[in-house]
Amino acid sequence: MTTDHRDPRRPRANGPTDVAGHEVRAEGTTLPTLPGDTHAHVQAETATGSRTLWGDAWRRLRKNKLAIVGLVWIVAVLIMTISADLWVPPLFGDPLAVNTTPGASLQAPSLTHPFGTDKLGRDVLSRVVYGARVSLTVGVLAVSISLAIGLLLGALSGYYGRFVDSLVMRSADVFFAFPYILFAIALIAVLGPSYRNVFIAIGILGWPSIARVFRSSILSVKENEYVDAARAMGASDFRIMFRHIMPNAIAPIIVYGTMSIGGAIITEAALSFLGMGVQPPTPSWGLMLSDAKSLMFRAPWLTIWPGFAILTTVLAFVLMGDGMRDALDVKMKD
């Protein structure tokens, strides 16, 4: 099936012979790095002593400079935005405070307004910092919704196979047939554009990728002898699923989920940019760029900073995801 395409951030199958997402598989830590593995920069540790999969993964992740840069940036943005109420309004002004004094609007960057002011005289730095709240909240909530639906359906599909599998995977194909942004727009057209409906729409559209990744991960874990052993000892389906399969099948989901947060942030920005997302006056990066569009040449600072914020934040999640893929030794094609 190659109905999967559209959003390049989705894992894609390699060709028609591949059933959805087959090459996304958890290989555990016992397998050697394949010759075609693009991400062999991180060598396996040879340290002795007690070792766990997660401990090993963390040690490898720490060695990946780019992933650490990403992690540090995410933490920094989180701290900045959580503590924003304490320092942003006193230093730079309220993100929503419209200033109609003559000369207050469209000020070029200066010491009092390091990122300048917008056409309503609001401080751009302040709005960019508060915009991170919207972006991160939408990113995390949207991916949570995708995870909730995707993990459940992926697990059912991978574990029970047969009819359930076909039903879930064919539904995923239908979702993949839609152009991503347009589908989101159509959904929001019906739900009405709002903060809440943006993350609901992005969340709903994200489940098929998660389900595919989790399904194929479960399929490969299910073949292990310890699963047969558990079944032979009379463990229930529920116990086998949650105690034996899930913990071993979750690594690709962690990698993919991290990258998806970045994807959701870009999508939110795109939808807000098109007027189908967060509504004014809420400071959202996409919305700020939408306002900046008509003032692109007169006030370039309105364009530069919100976009830079999107780029760095999304990049941080991508680098983290890349690093975790290497650290957890998950094979996931681009």
Partner 1 sequence: MVKYVVRRAFQMIPVFIGVTLILFVLRAPGVLPGDPVRMITGERAISDALREQIIQKHALDQPLYRQYVLYVSNILKGDLGESFQRGRPVLDILADKFPNTLRLAVAGIIIEAIIGVTAGIISAVRQYSFLDVLVTLSTSILVSVPVFWLGMLFQIFFGIKLKEWTGGTFYLPISQMSSANFPDWVHIILPAITLASVSTAYVARIMRSQMLESMGQDYIRTAEAKGLTRRAVTFRHALKNALIPVVTFVGIDFGVMMGGAILTETVFSWPGVGREIFLAVGQRDWPIVMGGVIVIVFLVMIINLLVDLSYALLDPRIRYGGGAE
Binding range to partner 1, per CB under 8 A, among 96-104, 120-128, 228-236, 306-314: 306-314
Measured from the CB atom, the residue of 227 and 274 that comes closer to partner 1 is 274
Question: Should residue 36 be labelled a site residue for partner 1 when binding is judged by CB under 8 A?
Answer: yes
Q: Smallest Cα–Cα separation from 284: which of 92, 233, 276, 147?
A: 276
Instruction: Please check whether residue 334 is in contact with residue 153, taking contact to mean a CB–CB distance below 8 angstroms.
Output: no
Phi and psi, residue 73, nearest 5°: -65, -45
Question: Should residue 109 be labelled a site residue for partner 1 when binding is judged by CB under 8 A?
Answer: no
Measured from the CB atom, the residue of 249 and 318 that comes closer to partner 1 is 318
Question: Should residue 32 be labelled a site residue for partner 1 when binding is judged by CB under 8 A?
Answer: no
Rounded to the nearest whole angstrom, what is the least distance from the CB of residue 12 to partner 1 in the complex?
7
CA dist 66 to 15, 76, 309, 323, Å?
A: 31, 15, 18, 7
At 209, which amino acid appears? S
Question: Should residue 179 be labelled a site residue for partner 1 when binding is judged by CB under 8 A?
Answer: yes
Q: Which two tokens stand for residue 280?
A: 């004014």
Q: Which helix (H) or strand (E) holds 331?
A: strand 330-331
Those residues with Cβ within 8 angstroms of residue 277's Cβ, 6 or more apart along the chain or in another chain: 188, 193, 198, 268, 269, 270, 271, 284, 286, 287
Question: Should residue 289 be labelled a site residue for partner 1 when binding is judged by CB under 8 A?
Answer: yes
Phi and psi, residue 6, nearest 5°: 55, -95
Binding range to partner 1, per CB under 8 A, among 81-89, 131-139, 143-151, 302-310: 302-310
Measured from the CB atom, the residue of 78 and 97 that comes closer to partner 1 is 78
The residues that bridge with 26 in the sheet, in sequence order, are 330
Rounded to the nearest whole angstrom, what is the least distance from the CB of residue 271 to partner 1 in the complex?
10
Return d(Cα 167, Cα 290) in angstroms, integer: 40
Binding to partner 1 by CB under 8 A, coded x per residue (else -) over 202-241, reads: ----------------------------------------
Question: Should residue 292 be labelled a site residue for partner 1 when binding is judged by CB under 8 A?
Answer: yes
Positions in the binding site for partner 1 (CB under 8 A): 1-3, 5-6, 8-9, 12, 14-17, 19, 34-38, 41, 66, 170-171, 173-174, 177-179, 181-183, 185-187, 189-192, 262, 266, 269-270, 273-276, 286, 289, 292-293, 296-297, 300, 303-304, 306-307, 310-311, 314-315, 318-319, 322, 333-334
